[in-house]
């Protein structure tokens, strides 16, 4: 099981700087996920920036979310 997300910041080009509870920091690129309808609204910067950390993962206002495992495993150091 991957560590929970405790902090996330928006970077340019639809990337997130994510801090996990074990103090690891990773960069996660969301552009791959825009091919799925639930993530389409996040192509707009205003929507991409509207997220919360809920139960250790990131959830967007539009309803899109990924597991903390996905952010942790696919994130780049």
CA 62 from chain centre, in angstroms, equals 13
Which positions ≥6 away from 12 have C-beta within 8 Å?
Answer: none
* pLDDT tens per residue across span 25-73: 999 999 999 999 999 999 999 999 999 999 999 999 999 999 999 999 9
pTM here is 0.94
* Burial label, 33 (beta-carbon count in 10 A; 0-12, 13-18, 19+): middle
Least Cα distance to 23 among 43, 4, 37 occurs for: 4
* Confidence at residue 1, expressed as pLDDT on a 0 to 100 scale: 84
CA 23 from chain centre, in angstroms, equals 16
């Amino acid at each position: 099981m991957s560590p929970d997300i405790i902090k996330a910041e928006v970077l340019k080009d639809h990337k997130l700087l994510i801090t996990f509870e074990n103090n690891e920091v990773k960069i996660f690129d969301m552009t791959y996920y825009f091919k799925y309808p639930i993530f389409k609204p996040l192509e707009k910067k205003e929507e991409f920036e509207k997220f919360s950390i809920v139960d250790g993962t990131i959830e967007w206002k539009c309803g899109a979310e990924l597991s903390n495992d996905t952010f942790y495993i696919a994130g780049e150091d």
